[in-house]
């Protein structure tokens, strides 16, 4: 196995079932609209397990989620992302012998991902049982330029014979989702979500249309093929499926190629998804495959220019971080109809649901590299505002909105409310993301159009859920980020997020009022100056737990009164704890699944002194298992702030390699998108010390001992800045845009060209 700068390769492919499933994830293709797992075109033996899936972001059906007791407001159904079709199955026979890595002899086997070209590939040299040798190269692409398009370029070279090769390329509509009854992170059962509607062959192109069983959505996929040389090519329709049969003569040392184009269209984005599929398929073949590849490479050149990041002295980490950034652009939705799922479009973990991951871990990356994508993500939350309002009413709140903890189309999908619906901090997270976008771009027009309404309505909810007690504003019976501690009073993170939300509701009111951009929204939602005074009062009197003896912020009112979990003496095979201990047992202990108060000390650092942050970090480090993939990156950032650079480096390394090395043992179910965003933050916000505040942009760079230097680029307002950090100096270069004042340490600098600061 080896990594190169923007290319990941695995040689001599393992035939272990678990390794094959991990590679299905690691080498998947996606573009934010569609995602296809990297299954073998020729299938595995029937005794092997596999997650063979193709997905559309935001496309879902509704499944039952029965509660043990029928209590008011408990969720009884959920949305689930669907496996919509199988168009990756292609069977090859060489002179009548079926190609399979499990038969004959594999002379060479390689899988690779080219992150500059935007393609994945397989290279195999294979000897058939009778001795015929072929070299097979298969390239796949999901287009960033034509989002519905997925291509497979399947090339076969005859190495020692003349003869005939045959392809059988399938278009299969009868598919199901994956399930695992023993893992709460994936669906517990699998059922038939898609029902056949129509199958047709038009001039050799196949079109399959299905509708969902409950949500009444439709999906149409279109497939066409080309051969690189003259041969027999024929497509026939079967019951809700189609097969293209291709037969061609091949000479020794000659290569023949079958190219397969698939387009995906759905009724969320198109009134007539069949007509849309026909148009997309015509568009796909209007240019050559090579031209599609060139367009893909051009798109990614701009992407890499915007998010350039390099670590000298640690190539493996540079390459892992590049892999993670590439997965983010593969996974993130490119329109307002979708968002970014916890597993992206790489697998069915968490059933394709959107969480707080988007706002707190992924949007920071796009804020600094491609803010237009952030606008789409916020636009999705804005489009589901009415459903969030309905959710708040179900939960008993007479004003404001409450966003669902997990969702696809805006309705709550969390069946276990103590660690789901009770996580009210989702409101503060979404408000925080709007504010972060504004601070990075100063796009007040977008705030007036969409962002401010989100911030005002989430602020209203805090006034309804909280209450005043003994002179302070308190928020009871909620769950913070740490899912091993549920249903508590005054979770520090939640209260700090609510305070920030309320204060910025007041600031946006004043900013929009001054700019003359408030009247329309003010009338729309009935906002008044008196209400903003309520916002300010609650924020100023917000109760933030503090323990005088320890000098820390307790995670909540009861956390320090609990027995401390003995992490050191817990057997390694009992992690993650959630799979081995009853929730109530966990809730009665001081044990954290992930960063909670420590996270608050990163994003709301001005709320506490540096001494309190240091004390809290040291305390929570001892009781945190990092069973969540969202955790170590945050500990890395705060360790950097505290000048514990080598500790930050250790946490960062754990975060960077999580999926490539399957450290959480569930990469087979899909990538960990939030960790990937957090990994970027650990460099830029952690080692680079970046903070963007109302008062400007700040840096406090540190560097691990083993690195020679590191550099990255960020966008800020209308400018792009390059940051280079060495042991002896740091330099900041204005690559484009207008001059900026930057703060490095305690000093302000005018950045109009390049500033070099010696340490």
CATH classification of the domain holding 211: 2.70.98.40
* Token code pair at residue 731: 């330099």
- Give residues with Cβ within 8 angstroms of 228, minimum separation 6: 155, 255, 256, 257, 258, 259
Q: How far apart are CA 637 and CA 645, in angstroms?
A: 9
Local structure of 133: helix, strand or coil:
strand
End-to-end CA distance of the chain: 39
Confidence of residue 325 (pLDDT cuts 50, 70, 90): very high
pLDDT on residue 657? 82
Tell me, yes or no, whether 612 lies in a domain: no
Distance CA 178, CA 252 (A): 42
Instruction: Report the mean per-residue pLDDT for the chain.
Output: 95
Cβ atoms within 10 Å, residue 741: 12
How far apart, in whole angstroms, are the C-alpha atoms of residue 577 and residue 368?
Answer: 35
Q: Looking at the domain assignment, is residue 393 inside a domain?
A: no
Helices (H), 103-219: none
d(CA 428, CA 602): 15
Is 11 contained in some domain? Answer: yes
User: Which residues share a beta bridge with 150?
Assistant: 142, 262
Q: What is the Cα–Cα distance from 573 to 592, expressed in whole angstroms?
A: 18
**195 within some domain:** yes
Strand 754-758 and strand 34-36: the pairing is: unpaired
Maximum Cα interatomic distance, the chain, rounded to a whole number of Å: 89
Q: Which of 42-46, 191-195, 418-422, 667-671 has the lowest mean pLDDT?
A: 191-195
The answer to whether position 222 is within a domain reads: yes
- The pairing of strands 163-172 and 241-250 is antiparallel
The residue with tokens 């569930």 is 666
Angle, helices 385-394/371-383, rounded to nearest 10 degrees: 50
Give mean pLDDT, residues 33-53: 94
Q: Which of 416, 357, 410 is nearest to 79 (CA)?
A: 410
User: Cα 8 to the chain's mean position, in Å?
Assistant: 20
Percent of all residues in the chain with a pLDDT value above 70, rounded to a whole number: 98
- Produce one character per residue of 338-349: b if its CB has 16 or more CB atoms within 10 Å, e if not: bbbbbbbbbbbb
666 neighbors 629 (Cβ within 8 angstroms) = no
Q: Please list the helix, strand and coil fractions of the chain in percent, rounded to the nearest 5, in that order.
A: 35, 25, 40
- Residue 104 structural domain: 2-59+78-178+188-303
pLDDT digits (tens, 9 = 90+) for 685-701: 999 999 999 999 999 99
Is 544's pLDDT higher than 50? Answer: yes
Predicted confidence at residue 228, as pLDDT, reads 97
pLDDT at 2: 43
CA-CA distance, 265 to 288, in Å (whole number)? 21
How far apart are the C-alpha atoms of 371 and 384, rounded to whole Å? 20
- Torsion angle of C-alpha atoms 686, 690, 693, 698, degrees rounded to 10: 130
- Answer whether 416's CB lies under 8 Å from 487's CB: no
Residue 54, SS3?
Answer: strand
CA gap 739, 713 in Å, rounded: 16
**Within a 13 Å sphere around the CA of 500, how many CA atoms are in the beta-carbon half?**
26
Per-residue pLDDT for 12 more than 80? yes
For residue 451, the SS3 value is helix
| Token couple for 442 | 């100063």
User: Is 724 noted as a catalytic residue in this protein?
Assistant: no
> CA 432 to CA 459: how far, in whole Å?
11
pLDDT in tens, 486-536: 999 999 999 999 999 999 999 999 999 999 999 999 999 999 999 999 999
* DSSP per-residue string spanning 575-640: -SGGGTS-HHHHHTEE-BSS-SHHHHHHHTGGGS-HHHHHHHHHHHHTTB---STTSHHHHHHHHH
DSSP conformational letter for 354? B
Q: Which of 413, 397, 394, 497 is nearest to 455 (CA)?
A: 497
Q: Both tokens of residue 44?
A: 């595995």
- Rounded to an integer, the average pLDDT of 533-562 is 98
Catalytic residue among 41, 483, 621, 724: 483
Residue 16 in domain: yes
d(CA 268, CA 142): 20
The CA distance from 312 to 711, in Å, is 9
CA distances from 372 to 117, 435, 443 (A): 22, 15, 11
| 503: DSSP letter | H
Number of Cβ within 10 Å of residue 550's Cβ equals: 14
Give 565's DSSP letter: P
Distance CA(541)–CA(553), nearest Å, equals: 16
What 3-state class would DSSP assign to 208? strand
With CA atoms as reference, report the closest residue to 618 among 642, 645, 650: 642
What is the rounded average pLDDT of the residues 360-374?
98
What is the Rg, in whole angstroms, of the alpha carbon atoms belonging to the chain? Answer: 27
Nearest CA-CA partner of 602 in 388, 407, 360: 360
Give the burial class of 136: count Cβ atoms within 10 A of its Cβ; 0-12 exposed, 13-18 middle, 19 or more buried.
buried
Contact between 447 and 515 under an 8 Å Cβ cutoff? The reply is no
**Average pLDDT of the residues in 714-739:** 97
Structural element, H or E, at residue 378: helix 371-383
What φ, ψ does residue 264 adopt, rounded to 5°? -120, 130
| 3-class secondary structure, 31 | coil
Domain total of the chain: 1
Cβ–Cβ under 8 Å, residues 22 and 663: no
pLDDT at 180 over 90: no
Closest CA to 711 of 729, 692, 696: 729
CA 352 to chain CA mean position, Å: 10
CA 66 to chain CA centroid, nearest Å: 28
Mean of pLDDT values over 291-304: 98
| Pair 718, 694: CB distance under 8 Å | no
Within a domain: 341: no
Residue 1 pLDDT class (50, 70, 90 cuts): very low
Residue 185: pLDDT above 60? Answer: no
Residue 719's SS3 state is strand
Three-state DSSP state, 5: coil
pLDDT on residue 727: 97
Determine the average pLDDT of the residues in 140-148. 98
Domain contains 521: no
Task: Give the full edge-to-edge strand order of the sheet including 729-736.
Answer: 309-312, 709-716, 719-726, 729-736, 754-758
What integer pLDDT is reported at residue 602 of this predicted model? 98
């Amino acid at each position: 196995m080896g990594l190169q700068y923007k290319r990941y390769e695995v040689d001599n492919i393992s035939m272990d079932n678990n390794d094959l499933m991990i590679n299905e994830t690691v080498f998947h293709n996606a573009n934010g609209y569609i995602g296809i797992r990297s299954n073998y075109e020729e299938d595995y033996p029937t005794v092997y397990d596999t997650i063979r899936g193709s997905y559309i972001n935001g496309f879902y059906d509704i499944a039952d989620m029965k509660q043990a007791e029928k209590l008011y407001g408990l969720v009884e159904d959920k949305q689930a992302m669907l496996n919509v079709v199988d168009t990756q199955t292609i069977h090859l026979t060489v002179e009548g012998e079926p190609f399979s890595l499990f038969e004959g002899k594999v002379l060479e086997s390689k899988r690779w991902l080219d992150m500059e070209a935007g393609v994945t590939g397989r290279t195999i040299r294979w000897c058939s049982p009778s001795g015929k040798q072929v070299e097979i190269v298969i390239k796949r692409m999901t287009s960033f330029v034509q989002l519905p398009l997925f291509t497979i370029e399947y090339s076969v070279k005859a190495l020692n014979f003349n003869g005939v090769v045959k392809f059988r390329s399938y278009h299969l509509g009868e598919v199901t989702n994956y399930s695992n009854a023993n893992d709460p992170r994936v669906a517990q059962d699998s059922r038939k979500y898609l029902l056949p509607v129509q199958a047709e062959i038009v001039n050799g192109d196949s079109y399959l249309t299905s509708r969902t069983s409950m949500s009444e959505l439709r999906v149409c996929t279109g497939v066409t093929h080309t051969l690189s040389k003259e041969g027999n090519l024929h497509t026939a329709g079967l019951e809700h499926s189609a097969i293209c049969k291709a037969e061609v003569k091949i000479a020794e040392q000659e290569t023949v190629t079958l190219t397969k184009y698939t387009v995906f269209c759905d009724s969320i984005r198109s009134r007539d998804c069949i007509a849309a599929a026909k148009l997309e398929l015509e568009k796909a073949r209007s240019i050559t495959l090579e031209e599609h590849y060139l367009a893909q490479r051009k798109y990614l050149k701009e992407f890499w220019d915007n998010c350039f990041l390099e670590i000298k002295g640690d190539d493996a980490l540079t390459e892992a971080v590049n892999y993670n950034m590439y997965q983010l652009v593969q996974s993130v939705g490119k329109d307002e109809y979708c968002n970014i799922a916890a597993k992206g479009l790489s697998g069915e973990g968490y059933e394709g649901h959107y969480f707080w991951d988007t706002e707190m871990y992924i949007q920071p990356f796009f804020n600094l590299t491609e803010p237009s994508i952030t606008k789409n993500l916020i636009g999705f939350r804005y489009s589901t505002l009415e459903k969030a309002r309905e959710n708040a009413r179900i939960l008993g709140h007479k004003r404001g909105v409450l966003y669902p903890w997990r969702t696809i189309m805006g309705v709550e999908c969390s069946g276990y409310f103590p660690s789901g619906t009770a996580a009210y901090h989702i409101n503060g997270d979404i408000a925080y993301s709007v504010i972060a976008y504004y601070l990075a771009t100063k796009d007040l027009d977008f705030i007036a159009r969409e962002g401010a309404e989100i911030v005002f309505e989430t602020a209203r909810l805090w006034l309804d859920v909280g209450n005043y007690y003994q002179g302070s504003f308190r928020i009871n019976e909620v769950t913070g980020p740490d899912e091993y501690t549920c249903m508590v009073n005054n979770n520090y993170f939640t209260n700090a997020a609510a305070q920030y939300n309320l204060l910025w509701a007041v600031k946006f009111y004043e900013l929009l009022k001054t700019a003359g951009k408030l009247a329309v929204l003010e009338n729309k939602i009935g906002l008044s100056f008196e209400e903003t005074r309520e916002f300010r009062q609650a924020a100023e009197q917000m109760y933030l737990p503090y323990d005088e003896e320890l000098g820390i912020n307790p995670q909540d009112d009861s956390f320090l009164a609990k027995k401390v979990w003995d992490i050191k003496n817990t057997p390694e095979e009992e992690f993650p704890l959630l799979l081995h201990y009853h929730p109530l047992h966990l809730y009665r202990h001081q044990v954290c699944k992930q960063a909670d108060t420590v996270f608050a000390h990163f994003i709301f650092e001005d709320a506490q002194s540096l001494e309190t942050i240091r004390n809290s970090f040291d305390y929570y480090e001892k009781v945190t298992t990092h069973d969540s993939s969202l955790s170590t990156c945050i500990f890395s950032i705060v360790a950097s702030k505290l000048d514990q650079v080598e500790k930050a480096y250790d946490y960062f390394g754990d975060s960077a390699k999580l999926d490539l090395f399957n450290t959480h043992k569930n990469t087979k179910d899909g990538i960990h998108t939030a960790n990937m965003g957090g990994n970027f933050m650990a460099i830029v916000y952690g080692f680079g010390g970046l903070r963007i505040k109302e008062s400007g942009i700040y840096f406090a760079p540190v560097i691990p001992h083993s690195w020679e230097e590191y550099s990255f680029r960020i966008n800020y307002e209308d400018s792009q800045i390059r940051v280079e950090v060495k042991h002896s100096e740091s330099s900041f270069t204005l690559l484009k845009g207008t001059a900026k004042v930057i703060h490095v340490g305690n000093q302000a600098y005018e950045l109009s060209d390049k500033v070099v600061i010696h340490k």
